[in-house]
Amino acid sequence: MEAAAATTPASTETRKLTMRAAVRERFGNPRDVVRIRDLEKPVPGDDELLVRVHAASINVADWYAVVGRPWIGRVAMGVRGPKELRIGTDYAGTVEAVGKAVTGFAPGDEVFGGRTGAYAEYVVADAGRAVAHKPANVSFDEAAAVPIAAITALQAIRDQGRMGPGQRVLVNGASGGVGTYAVQLAKALGAGHVTAVCSTRNVETARSLGADRVVDYTQEDFTRLDDRFDLMVDVAGSRPWRHVKRVLASRATVVLVGAPKKGPLLGPLEHVIGMRLASIGSGRRLVFFVARLNKEDLETLGDLLEPGRIRSVLDERYELDRLVDALDQMGDGHCRGKIVVTM
């Protein structure tokens, strides 16, 4: 559809209108600092879309952005206080208006993507960046769960892990946001065998996602398995190198995705640094990366979601007014799949 025809006189009419959005003016416990405010409804620029958000999801990064930890992260987040008041990244919604230079999107399109400020009734998205059409058979909740977690899993397996066909893959931390997609993507991209590590209550979920073997970490130590993995996607970061290396094939790759929150200064980076140093000279490749949100990967994920080759696992669903409860649950670190917030 021709975008110019649908450009935004609507936005000028609505410029004075407000929207409900979550903000925090200082870092701290979500309950103390997160507020739902009326903000001016955004107006899309020439290359942008105005999206009416139906659902957003919570990522650990959103929790870090609220509490302002680890302190090293404040270089980007703001040293004295948050540089950006709005919070949230992942969303799914309906395009309400498009800028005059936008092609490929039109009002009424259902989309999903990532943009700061997603815990709000509206976001403005750069049409050329991390936004894509939502498959019609995938709900807004399911689509909102996808961006950061599934892109992280995809880039961990395909780009950083360079997984080859038939490889034996281990996903440690298989039941949260990143892990539930990682298990499915490893299978969908041709792994020969996938072992998922999670706690007792999530064993059935991990199995239902296609894991060939599920290790309940409360009952069994995965680093004592009689198995050797070509690729380990370490989402939980729960074990030191000297244990992990016992189950690695001689030319294995370990992709470090996450780690416990740990100390206030470096947070999860403490574990990353420890693993990096300990792995030197081991002959194994160990990589840590920060996922990059982008349109192409969202489209790839949409293509896998549409025929049901991957799906979103949804945990609790909260309304925007209960965002602090959602953030508290995220902070506990035991989600099953993704927490969704509806507007």
Ligand X SMILES: NC(=O)c1ccc[n+]([C@@H]2O[C@H](COP(=O)([O-])OP(=O)(O)OC[C@H]3O[C@@H](n4cnc5c(N)ncnc54)[C@H](OP(=O)(O)O)[C@@H]3O)[C@@H](O)[C@H]2O)c1
Between 202 and 253, CB nearer to ligand X: 202
Told to check if 44 binds ligand X by CB under 6 A, we report no
Told to check if 183 binds ligand X by CB under 6 A, we report no
Q: Which of residues 205-234 bind ligand X (CB under 6 A)?
A: 217
The gap between the terminal CA atoms of the chain, to the nearest Å, is: 28
For residues 287, 209, 147, 340, the Cα torsion angle rounded to the nearest 10 degrees is -130
Between 117 and 258, CB nearer to ligand X: 258
Between 33 and 257, CB nearer to ligand X: 257
Nearest C-alpha neighbor of 135 from the set 328, 316, 269, 309: 309
Span interacting with ligand X, options 21-29, 270-278, 299-307, 332-340, rule CB under 6 A:
332-340
Q: Which residue's Cβ has the minimum distance to ligand X?
A: 176
Told to check if 176 binds ligand X by CB under 6 A, we report yes
Phi, psi of 259 (to 5 degrees): -165, 165
Told to check if 199 binds ligand X by CB under 6 A, we report yes
Q: How far is CA 204 from the centre of its chain?
A: 22
Span interacting with ligand X, options 12-20, 99-107, 116-124, 193-201, rule CB under 6 A:
193-201
Go through the chain and tell me how many residues it has: 343
Q: Which of 57, 160, 184, 202 binds ligand X (CB under 6 A)?
A: 202
Told to check if 255 binds ligand X by CB under 6 A, we report no
**Assigned token pair, 247:** 């189950």
Between 107 and 173, CB nearer to ligand X: 173
Q: Which of residues 280-309 bind ligand X (CB under 6 A)?
A: 289-291
Site string for ligand X, 117-146 (x = CB under 6 A): ------------------------------
| Residue 266 half-sphere exposure toward CB, CA atoms < 13 A | 8
Told to check if 178 binds ligand X by CB under 6 A, we report yes
Q: Which of 26, 162, 224, 334 binds ligand X (CB under 6 A)?
A: 334
**Assigned token pair, 169:** 């893959």
Told to check if 150 binds ligand X by CB under 6 A, we report no
* Separation of alpha carbons 176 and 338, rounded Å: 7
Q: Tell me: cis bond preceding 70? Omega within 30 of 0 counts.
A: yes
Told to check if 148 binds ligand X by CB under 6 A, we report yes
Check the CA dihedral 108-111-117-121 and report its sign.
Answer: positive
* Separation of alpha carbons 73 and 63, rounded Å: 12
List helix spans (H) across the chain.
Answer: 9-14, 30-33, 60-67, 74-77, 140-144, 147-154, 177-188, 203-208, 241-244, 269-279, 295-305, 323-332
* Binding footprint of ligand X on the chain (CB under 6 A): 59-60, 148-149, 152, 172-173, 175-179, 197-199, 202, 217, 235-236, 238, 257-259, 268, 289-291, 333-335
